[in-house]
Amino acid sequence: MEEKNKNNHILDEVTGSEYKYGFYTDIEADQAPKGLNEDTVRFISAKKNEPEFMLEFRLKAFRHWKTLKEPDWAHVDYPPIDYQDIIYFSAPRKKPQYESLDEVDPELLETFDKLGIPLEEQKMLAGVAVDAVMDSVSVATTFRETLAEKGIIFCSFSEAVQKHPDLVKKYLGTVVPYTDNFFAALNCAVFSDGSFVYIPKGVKCPLELSTYFRINAANTGQFERTLIVAEEGSYVSYMEGCTAPMRDENQLHAAIVEIIAHKDAEVKYSTVQNWWPGDKHGKGGVYNFVTKRGICEGDNSKISWTQVETGSAITWKYPSLILKGNNTTGEFYSVAVTNNMQQADTGTKMIHLGKNTRSTIISKGISAGRSNNSYRGLVKTTRNAENARNFSQCDSLLLGDQCGAHTFPYLEVGNRSSVVEHEATTSKISEDQLFYCLQRGIDMESAIGLIVNGYAKEVLSKLPMEFAVEAQKLLSISLEGSVG
């Protein structure tokens, strides 16, 4: 191992130095010039003051990306993206955009209120100047101290690259290699920042790593990257994303999440995604093309994904799990809502490699307006995955008669002792249900909110408590105006 690292280091040095030629971009600039080439990649790496191995990683990814074609198999439709017309790096906005909340779009504030987001956090999310002594900042500091005592590392990806390069080097790209797919390769080449979580052996993380993240979520970039490593016997519950609507001038978002669970470790990953979906005609929304994957590396480990997807014009996302260790468990709980012209193609992949591996998939799609909502999932048990078990349930709920719901299950069973079950239902909110609510004095919007939340309850109950409440409100808000 030592030897290999040393070799890599030398390799890095050699290859790295070569790249210095032809490097011409002014690194004092706040943003990279439009377009993507090796210089852009070098610019980003230099801007972030990264060690050679990172630059090497990015360049390899970039060179591979150039050989790839954008995938077109998803059940989504959008005009071609001009990858040369994108600015791949701009320095995070440090200056607040506004002096007070009065200057912020009232529609946005109304949504914040409906979600019940505290005032100080509203300011943060909307980009309003806040006092340095603000509560949440000190909360964040307290958090860090508590975590540090346990040896937990929880920081931005950039910070991890600087302070814990060995860990980053050891795990980066091990679950989602840069060769994985078009968007993953793109992310590897140009990723801006993200989060890094490391839970040492035997440590149960005493906090939901969620509140902290949310406070910091407002300034996350276009190409995020999250890496979570849970050592033997550790536990962590991690939440990212935000229920508040995130408006962003960047149309293309291509994130990567990698999770590694060692022996007896457990990782719970929850996310709420509410990127700007565009206007009613689908103009201007975010394209969210994400690669998320976890590996249950050691025996008896467990990873669960819980996601609530309500935003983005297009969502292309399949949080997946490789159940490599024996007796490992994978779970996927998803609620995906599409309204107006939104398109979502989302699901999961459960790859059973180890013996006695278990996976559960609960997917709840809700379509309204003229949107399209697809579940796409693969369950695969290999020859060695004796006694593997999977249960999948994919339900679709339709509101109105102009939307679409689709289910694309792929099942590959590689041995005789595995059992794979798939159940699917499609239903509509009935007139009778709505009238029943109306007759009890509950108006149409609230009735739809109630019924939809009831339908998604099984998944929402998996979210950390504080987010479950917000997610419920979010579902109702996302479907406002979808009926009648």
Partner 1 sequence: MLSIKNLQVSINGKLILKDLDLEVKEGEVHAIMGPNGSGKSTLASVVAGRDTFDIDKGEILYRDQNLMDMNPETRAREGIFMGFQYPVEIPGVSIANFMRTAINEKRKHLGLEPLSGAEFLKLMEEKKKLVDIQSKLTNRSVNEGFSGGEKKKNEIFQMALLEPRLAILDETDSGLDIDALKVVANGVNKLRRKDNATIVITHYQRLLDYIIPDYVHVLYEGRIVKSGGKELALELESKGYDWVKKEAGAQIQG
**Which residue's CB is nearer to partner 1, number 46 or number 442?**
442
Determine if 456 is a binding residue for partner 1 (CB under 8 A). yes
Q: Output the smallest distance, CB 110 to partner 1, in A.
A: 18
**Which residue's CB is nearer to partner 1, number 281 or number 440?**
440
* Binds partner 1 (CB under 8 A): choice among 129, 219, 438, 481: 438
**Which residue's CB is nearer to partner 1, number 22 or number 484?**
484
Give, as one character, the DSSP assignment of residue 179: T
Give the count of beta carbons closer than 10 Å to the beta carbon of residue 95.
Answer: 6
Q: Output the smallest distance, CB 308 to partner 1, in A.
A: 15
The interface mask with partner 1, positions 402-431, x = CB under 8 A, is: ----------------------------xx
Q: Which residues contact 24 (CB under 8 A, 6 or more apart)?
A: 39
Q: Output the smallest distance, CB 395 to partner 1, in A.
A: 10
Whole-angstrom Cα distance, residue 253 to residue 86? 11
**Which residue's CB is nearer to partner 1, number 11 or number 438?**
438
**Which residue's CB is nearer to partner 1, number 131 or number 432?**
432
3-state class (DSSP) for residue 216: helix
Whole-angstrom Cα distance, residue 343 to residue 484? 21
Alpha helices in 230-322 (DSSP H): none
* Binds partner 1 (CB under 8 A): choice among 23, 83, 410, 435: 435
Q: Output the smallest distance, CB 185 to partner 1, in A.
A: 40
Q: Output the smallest distance, CB 448 to partner 1, in A.
A: 11
| Range in contact with partner 1 (rule: CB under 8 A) among 9-17, 56-64, 298-306, 439-447 | 439-447
Q: Output the smallest distance, CB 391 to partner 1, in A.
A: 19
- HSE toward the beta carbon, residue 111, CA cutoff 13 A: 22
Q: Output the smallest distance, CB 347 to partner 1, in A.
A: 21
Q: Which residues contact 209 (CB under 8 A, 6 or more apart)?
A: 154, 197, 236, 237, 238, 239
| Range in contact with partner 1 (rule: CB under 8 A) among 176-184, 249-257, 284-292, 450-458 | 450-458
| Range in contact with partner 1 (rule: CB under 8 A) among 5-13, 70-78, 298-306, 449-457 | 449-457
Whole-angstrom Cα distance, residue 188 to residue 58? 6
| Range in contact with partner 1 (rule: CB under 8 A) among 120-128, 314-322, 415-423, 445-453 | 445-453
Tell me the number of residues near partner 1 by CB under 8 A: 23
Determine if 457 is a binding residue for partner 1 (CB under 8 A). yes
3-state class (DSSP) for residue 257: strand
State the distance between the two ends of the chain, measured CA to CA, in whole angstroms. Answer: 65
* Binds partner 1 (CB under 8 A): choice among 38, 386, 458, 480: 458
* Binds partner 1 (CB under 8 A): choice among 32, 184, 451, 471: 451
Whole-angstrom Cα distance, residue 349 to residue 58? 26
Q: Output the smallest distance, CB 453 to partner 1, in A.
A: 7
Could you tell me which of 286, 246, 214 has the C-alpha nearest to residue 466?
214
Q: Output the smallest distance, CB 455 to partner 1, in A.
A: 6
Q: Where are the beta strands (DSSP E) in 87-232?
A: 153-156, 193-199, 224-230
Determine if 386 is a binding residue for partner 1 (CB under 8 A). no
Q: Output the smallest distance, CB 335 to partner 1, in A.
A: 12
**Which residue's CB is nearer to partner 1, number 151 or number 481?**
481
For 117, list phi and psi in degrees, rounded to 5. Answer: -80, 130
Whole-angstrom Cα distance, residue 307 to residue 291? 13
* Binds partner 1 (CB under 8 A): choice among 92, 118, 454, 481: 454
**Which residue's CB is nearer to partner 1, number 379 or number 460?**
460
The angle, 0 to 180 degrees and rounded to 10, between the axes of the packed helices 444-460 and 465-478 is 140
Q: Which residues contact 11 (CB under 8 A, 6 or more apart)?
A: 56
DSSP string for residues in 432-458:
HHHHHHHHTT--HHHHHHHHHHHHHHH
* Binds partner 1 (CB under 8 A): choice among 46, 68, 167, 442: 442
* Binds partner 1 (CB under 8 A): choice among 453, 464, 469, 473: 453
Q: Output the smallest distance, CB 454 to partner 1, in A.
A: 3
* Binds partner 1 (CB under 8 A): choice among 65, 191, 287, 455: 455
Q: Where are the beta strands (DSSP E) in 143-280?
A: 153-156, 193-199, 224-230, 235-241, 252-253, 256-261, 266-273
Whole-angstrom Cα distance, residue 451 to residue 430? 10
Q: Output the smallest distance, CB 277 to partner 1, in A.
A: 25
Alpha-carbon radius of gyration of the chain: 22
Determine if 333 is a binding residue for partner 1 (CB under 8 A). no
Residues that bind partner 1 in the complex, under the rule CB under 8 A:
430-433, 435-444, 446, 450-451, 453-458
